[in-house]
Structure 1
Amino acid sequence: MSAALQGIRVIDMSRVFAAPVGAQILGDLGADVIKVERPGTGDDGRGYGTAWVEGRDGIETRQSSFFTVANRNKRSITVNHSKPEGQDIIRALVEDADVLIENFKVGDLKRFGLDYESLKAINPRLIYCSVTGFGQTGPMAALPGYDGLFQATGGMMAVTGIPDGKPGAGPLKAGPSLVDFVTGHNTALAIMAALIHRGTTGEGQYIDIALLDTSVAMVSHIMQDYLISGFPPPRLGNGGNGGGPADLITASDGIVYLTAGTDEHYRRLTVLMEQPELFTDPRFDTNFKRGRTGQAELIDIICRWSSRFSVGDLLAMLDGAGIPAAKYNELAQVWDEPQVQHRNLRATTPHPWAKAGSVDLIASPLAQMSASPATIRRPPPMLGEHNADVLAELGYTADRIDRLKTDGIV
């Protein structure tokens, strides 16, 4: 199969998570992604997370879970861009590059002649993407930004958490770094649009991506509710946003998530429960009542019924009645799901430096394209693993590469 971005070269000068995710998506789709890291320490993300890929023969991989999930399909080189010789390497890379991604502080790379205007003079077709917390302009542009800050600032925390009036009520951060993750996808999407634009016009361009923008957009239809009505919708805990009943319900041996958010689904549920009178009960006779004002009371009624059955029996009954429901899984249980296995979402990838000889990665959601699917061709790189290869491609001799290493440039 062909790769959608085969022949596209990306210079990835980004660190930590959001921007590296964007570069990884481009790599999954076939781009040659060259990850530029600091000599000695590398990407800050190599030190994040709670688990590390164990290396063979006592080798320290410095591949944390945080780094591993965002840096496959990349070649790693180390460059000290604060030195003139390092800047020369970046400029040489840019001459034939299609894309450069960076997430330094606003204006930081300009000090070294590596800003968009400087590199555009070398390569007018270059697509240069800057990813920052608050964007390139405005009163907060200079401030650093991390995922949790934007879940708080952009409104996600305001609509996530236990409803007011219940124990533990209050705003809650989502577990994964969702703003970072979606910002990475927005980064890749903007770059691919810029590549299409360049294919039509021949022009490169500058892209300003901000985590703040993503965080506000992610509140989506709930924020739109506020814009239309002027009133903030309440936090719903595990309740569904589209109607009700939709929530976690208890079984005798576990938990099930139920979504019976249409009138027909709810009618079928009341029949299955052998309580058809609930369908016309004035407490629950509209979708709004079932999903908002009567939500807690209705879920209690459903749980008194559902707790008599095992998870397996409950799901079979609900499925047989055509009512959407799913088993709640702990992380380990996710990988036991037959459909997860069928979709090959656990992507065991050869890794020459890992003790196991491979590393388990999470497959790309873009892997099911019929003609140009996302693929995993390389494990996450060791720090500077591809210095010799990439520099040789730029015309550097082995002796010159050795001198650059001795001088701390690579």
Structure 2
Amino acid sequence: MLLEGLKVVELATWVAGPGCAAAMAEWGADVIKVESAAGDPTRTFFPDTPESPGNPVFSLENRGKRGVVLNTSKADGRAALLAILADADVFVTNLRPGALKRAGLDYASLKAGLPRLIYASVSGYGLEGADVDVPAFDITGFWSRAGVAASTIPPDQPPFPCRPGFGDHVTALATLSAVLAAVHERSRTGVGRLVETSLIRTGAYAIGWDLSVQLRYGQAVTAQPRRDRPSAISGYFRTRDGRWICMVPRGPACFPAVMAAIGRSDICENPRYAIPMAEQDAVREVMAIVDAAFAELSFDAAGAMLTKADVIWAPMATLAELAADPQAQAAGCFVETPDGRGGSFRAPAMPARFPGLDPAPPRPAPQLGQHTREVLREAGLTESEIDAVA
């Protein structure tokens, strides 16, 4: 496997940190998840039981890992963690910086004794500034404070939160890319480093198209009410059978193509509707014509029409429709995941695959503390030392 021989230790909860480590586990790294006796809070969602095996949420973020329980607030628990870290390549944590410092597990405390270690810090607001220790979820740090929500939700609608884990998974991928860059650097230098990602910085990058305009010109046009949008053929259009199609023009040629497809080529001959349309009233007039045309078509007919016209479009699919989509299956969107009790279930796949490499199904997510004694023996602890912390 791609990352075989890489040892990763994770002291993290919820999504952004565990999601980064989960990708490395799926690609062959030995990932050891360290939890408190209470366990990662995501274990409480859809709990794994004999009657309903395989927690889908916890499994998504933790399949393929080995699980250890330690109380790192106590001296023997911290010592056990340091023993596990002694030959580790990567340490991933999303505990708040202040808590890590108090436990002597911040980068400054570890780097002298573990010079090869790549230390990945995932936080809400970074490692500098007044809000270092302000707690955050992706709904607050990524979606809300980073401007993603205000740029996405039209001003005529009440605010709504992003779906759980949405910004966390983007942050997990940012962390993963940074960790692998540091692994490459260490192959040349032999020295590890601190790697830092945060929800706010990842959110700022994710909304970077709008943010770049704001930074350059001091203002940016973001999400607008549908009637105020500048293009008559960009956005969502409802078909006769109540389904929505998303259509996005990629250039000036798309406008006459769409007008021809709906039987209204005459619109292109009217100077009032020349592209780019200068008047918002003109845009609204054409949008109303397009809306009426789609309202007369079935979803299948509208899709076939746009495909023939070579216009970029996609259905606004539900999750049930995505799960049944043969193209999503062909693109590798799903993976069969063992439930740890002899069965398996379908789950979202990691977002990248490697043609020609046919990985085995991922190992199931660990039960709480399942591998504690095994991992501590590998770290060199004696049975009496293990008894003291296990």
Query: CA–CA distance in 2 between the matches of 1:240 and 1:29?
Result: 46
Q: State the shift of 1:22 in Å.
A: 1.2
Alignment partner of 1:391: what SS? Answer: helix
Q: Which residue of the partner structure matches residue 339 of structure 2?
A: 351
Equivalent pair of 2:336/2:346 in contact (CA under 8 Å) = yes
Alignment partner of 2:347: what SS? Answer: strand
1:215–1:242 distance in 2 versus 1, CA, 3 Å? farther
In the TM superposition, what whole-angstrom CA distance separates every residue of 1:183-202 from its partner, at most 9, and x where no partner exists? 11111111111101111111
User: Is 1:12 aligned with 2:10?
Assistant: yes
Alignment partner of 2:253: what SS? Answer: helix
In the TM superposition, what whole-angstrom CA distance separates every residue of 1:306-345 from its partner, at most 9, and x where no partner exists? 1111111111121112122222211111112120122242
Query: CA–CA distance in 2 between the matches of 1:365 and 1:278?
Result: 42
Among candidates 264, 267, 271, match of residue 278 of structure 1: 267
Equivalent pair of 1:29/1:373 in contact (CA under 8 Å) = no
Query: CA–CA distance in 2 between the matches of 1:215 and 1:293?
Result: 34
Q: State the shift of 1:35 in Å.
A: 0.3
Alignment partner of 2:238: what SS? Answer: strand
Point out the more displaced range, 192-201 or 102-111: 102-111
Quick one: which amino acid aligns to residue 385 of structure 1? Q
Among candidates 260, 263, 267, match of residue 252 of structure 2: 263
Query: CA–CA distance in 2 between the matches of 1:366 and 1:46?
Result: 26
Equivalent pair of 1:42/1:383 in contact (CA under 8 Å) = yes
TM-score using structure 2 length: 0.91
Query: CA–CA distance in 2 between the matches of 1:130 and 1:16?
Result: 14
Equivalent pair of 1:245/1:261 in contact (CA under 8 Å) = no
Query: CA–CA distance in 2 between the matches of 1:221 and 1:246?
Result: 17
Equivalent pair of 1:364/1:374 in contact (CA under 8 Å) = no
Among candidates 44, 47, 54, match of residue 47 of structure 1: 44
Q: Which residue of the partner structure matches residue 217 of structure 1?
A: 205
1:149–1:281 distance in 2 versus 1, CA, 3 Å? farther
1:280–1:392 distance in 2 versus 1, CA, 3 Å? farther
Query: CA–CA distance in 1 between the matches of 2:330 and 2:39?
Result: 36
Q: Which residue of the partner structure matches residue 384 of structure 1?
A: 369
Q: State the shift of 1:372 in Å.
A: 5.4
Query: CA–CA distance in 2 between the matches of 1:28 and 1:242?
Result: 44
Q: Which residue of the partner structure matches residue 38 of structure 1?
A: 36
Among candidates 97, 115, 127, match of residue 124 of structure 1: 115
Q: Which residue of the partner structure matches residue 57 of structure 2?
A: 66
Alignment partner of 2:346: what SS? Answer: strand
Q: Which residue of the partner structure matches residue 249 of structure 1?
A: 237
Query: CA–CA distance in 2 between the matches of 1:98 and 1:293?
Result: 60
Query: CA–CA distance in 1 between the matches of 2:214 and 2:244?
Result: 32
1:121–1:274 distance in 2 versus 1, CA, 3 Å? same
User: Is 1:314 aligned with 2:299?
Assistant: no
Q: State the shift of 1:18 in Å.
A: 1.1
Q: Which residue of the partner structure matches residue 133 of structure 1?
A: 124
Point out the more displaced range, 233-242 or 215-224: 233-242
Q: Which residue of the partner structure matches residue 194 of structure 2?
A: 206
Quick one: which amino acid aligns to residue 96 of structure 1? D
Equivalent pair of 2:97/2:106 in contact (CA under 8 Å) = no
Q: Which residue of the partner structure matches residue 153 of structure 1?
A: 145
Equivalent pair of 1:102/1:129 in contact (CA under 8 Å) = yes
Equivalent pair of 1:364/1:375 in contact (CA under 8 Å) = no
In the TM superposition, what whole-angstrom CA distance separates every residue of 1:144-186 from its partner, at most 9, and x where no partner exists? 111121222111111112354xxxx354433343322211111
Query: CA–CA distance in 2 between the matches of 1:287 and 1:75?
Result: 57
Q: State the shift of 1:234 in Å.
A: 3.7
Query: CA–CA distance in 2 between the matches of 1:284 and 1:228?
Result: 31
Q: Which residue of the partner structure matches residue 163 of structure 2?
A: 175
Alignment partner of 2:112: what SS? Answer: helix
In the TM superposition, what whole-angstrom CA distance separates every residue of 1:5-26 from its partner, at most 9, and x where no partner exists? 1111000001111111111122
Quick one: which amino acid aligns to residue 30 of structure 1? G
1:47–1:220 distance in 2 versus 1, CA, 3 Å? same
1:300–1:243 distance in 2 versus 1, CA, 3 Å? closer
Q: State the shift of 1:29 in Å.
A: 2.0
Equivalent pair of 1:4/1:373 in contact (CA under 8 Å) = no
1:200–1:374 distance in 2 versus 1, CA, 3 Å? farther
Alignment partner of 1:335: what SS? Answer: helix
Quick one: which amino acid aligns to residue 12 of structure 1? E
Among candidates 325, 349, 363, match of residue 363 of structure 1: 349
Point out the more displaced range, 93-102 or 213-222: 213-222
In the TM superposition, what whole-angstrom CA distance separates every residue of 1:207-255 from its partner, at most 9, and x where no partner exists? 2221111111111111122223322204136799996621111111122
1:375–1:153 distance in 2 versus 1, CA, 3 Å? farther
Query: CA–CA distance in 2 between the matches of 1:81 and 1:173?
Result: 33
1:380–1:203 distance in 2 versus 1, CA, 3 Å? same
Alignment partner of 2:10: what SS? Answer: strand
Q: State the shift of 1:272 in Å.
A: 1.0
Q: State the shift of 1:364 in Å.
A: 1.4
CA RMSD of aligned residues (A): 2.6
The aligned runs of 1:322-361 (5 Å cut-off) are 322-353=310-341, 357-361=343-347
1:373–1:265 distance in 2 versus 1, CA, 3 Å? farther
Q: Tell me the matched-pair count.
A: 388
- Identify unmatched segments of 5+ residues in structure 1: none
Query: CA–CA distance in 2 between the matches of 1:214 and 1:375?
Result: 31
Quick one: which amino acid aligns to residue 386 of structure 1? H
Q: Which residue of the partner structure matches residue 188 of structure 1?
A: 176
Q: Which residue of the partner structure matches residue 143 of structure 1?
A: 134
Point out the more displaced range, 375-384 or 330-339: 375-384
